[in-house]
Chain A
């Protein structure tokens, strides 16, 4: 077991080494473009109106109080100040609670809704796929609804869900998770329908010669054959889950969560706060994706995949 994990981490590191130079180069390029874009993007602001010298314009543009486009280091500093630079816990009458001034508190609020939504979405997605591959009738009747569900803009339906659930007393995590699940089940259903049908006819004939029941055929053939498809779908839907959770925080005027930070930031013209919330969302997405990829590597390795 330890040996297996050892190999897996080595594989990941090797992948990391190969990616190091291109990733650093691209990041540097983006930063350069970003810094260069600051003066023209902020040209409308009065602080820049009378600044003539080119060098001076840059210096002013990179240090504005409420910029239209903040400079990268401003975002980094804000990220630091609002996470490590702020107390994570706060003493209240009920004891120690997470401090709402800390961005990590908001990240956690969004992350928890994301994870619950992702779990519901994955279960729903897999369940629907199982129903669809096992029954022609269900395939015919369910598939149009599933596809129609994704043609409705989520921004239109999110407030309806929030209000409807709020009226029966459900607020906070659950409505957000449901919006998140509503978006994330779809790639999983589509991927798993394909995955469950991916066993070739000879592999299926073999099960037939054993007179294997549907459930045995499913657990011993269809499910393992579908696992590579499962991970491909999970990777797509984990980031969609996060988007869903953030969107779920927008219409309520919620007090907590990255979506709430985005909204209050734009309300008060705090662009640096908006950007740091965006960065935090991106960091969360990257972490979640890395976790799914790790689970994928370990699972496929345990299934004897090549390399």
Chain B
């Protein structure tokens, strides 16, 4: 089939048939993501970012066009448990404490008890939640809940990580720290990451490529290369290269918005 791409999307369209007419959530999207890339989707609310992620995850079927994930159909990839998905909301199970929530996929996949505990501890520590293992979701802040859900997606170390605005609910400082940790994790493991965000600095800091989208119908209007070198730190955000890319993303977003008027 396709040539070693992690994700290969061709002329992908998705129309929701709703009671008050069709909603064109995605229109003729084209995108190829190489293994190990970190690709961010950015665009105004309702432009189809979540929809595109859900198509990749086989939670939504496209109306037309083709898509492969790791060379196979999204369904085969899902059946092979090849990706971890971080939803826009934490989606924790309220009757499980933080640790048990992280262990959920591990239980489903049949990991041993010891391994489940070891991984839950390790990944909760990675998202700075050591000491909160026994807390139930209602005892955690929104940001902490979202970090539990990230630990849950990381816990079984999938090759592909799909993240839908994972840091949207966090304050700047925590967000910065998690950005650095995510970058470090990515550099170490070289997973393919698809990352949805509303923040230009976040997208530029994290990504190897930025996909700018615009709404009604949802389409890809610009794909920006963005390699700021292996060893970036948050300081890079003051450099001219960084600002130049950020500027281009902002221009793309503006152009997308102007279609609305």
Contact = CB atoms under 8 A, between A and B. Distances in A.
Interface of A: 200, 202-203, 205-212, 216, 220-221, 224-225, 227, 303-306
B95 interface: yes
Q: Taking chain B's interface residues, is the majority helix, strand, or loop, or is none over half, making it mixed?
A: loop
A206 B95 contact: no
Given A209-B78, A211-B78, A220-B107, A304 B97 contact: yes
Given A202-B87, A304-B95, 18 more contacts: A203-B93, A205-B59, A205-B85, A206-B104, A207-B108, A208-B78, A209-B57, A209-B59, A209-B83, A210-B109, A211-B78, A220-B93, A220-B104, A224-B95, A227-B95, A304-B94, A304-B96, A306-B138
Interface residues of B, number: 25
A147 B95 CA distance: 32
Among A200, A206, A225, the one with the most B-chain Cβ atoms within 10 Å of its Cβ is A206
Contact of A209 (B85, B89, B136): B85
A216 B108 contact: yes
A227 B79 CA distance: 29
A205 B93 CA distance: 12
Interface in B59-85: 59, 78-81, 83-85
Contacts of A216: 108
Given A304-B97, A304-B136, A203 B91 contact: yes
A203 B59 CA distance: 12
B35 interface: no
Contacts of B143: none
Interface string B99-112: 00000110111000
B91 to A, nearest CB: 4
Q: Taking chain A's interface residues, is the majority helix, strand, or loop, or is none over half, making it mixed?
A: helix
28 contacts: A200-B91, A203-B93, A205-B85, A205-B87, A205-B91, A206-B87, A207-B108, A208-B58, A208-B78, A209-B59, A209-B78, A209-B83, A210-B81, A210-B108, A211-B79, A212-B108, A220-B93, A220-B107, A224-B95, A225-B95, A227-B95, A303-B95, A304-B94, A304-B95, A304-B96, A304-B97, A304-B138, A305-B95
A242 to B, nearest CB: 30
A221 to B, nearest CB: 7
B69 to A, nearest CB: 12
6 tightest A-B CB contacts, nearest first: A304-B136, A303-B95, A202-B91, A209-B85, A210-B108, A224-B95
B83 A206 contact: no
B165 to A, nearest CB: 13
Contacts of A305: 95
Contacts of A304: 94-97, 136, 138
Among A200, A203, A205, A304, the one with the most B-chain Cβ atoms within 10 Å of its Cβ is A304
A203 B96 CA distance: 13
B113 to A, nearest CB: 16
Contacts of B108: 207, 210, 212, 216, 220
A267 to B, nearest CB: 53
Contacts of B59: 205, 208-209
Contacts of A227: 95
Nearest to B87: A202
Contacts of B80: 211
B119 to A, nearest CB: 15
A304 B94 CA distance: 8
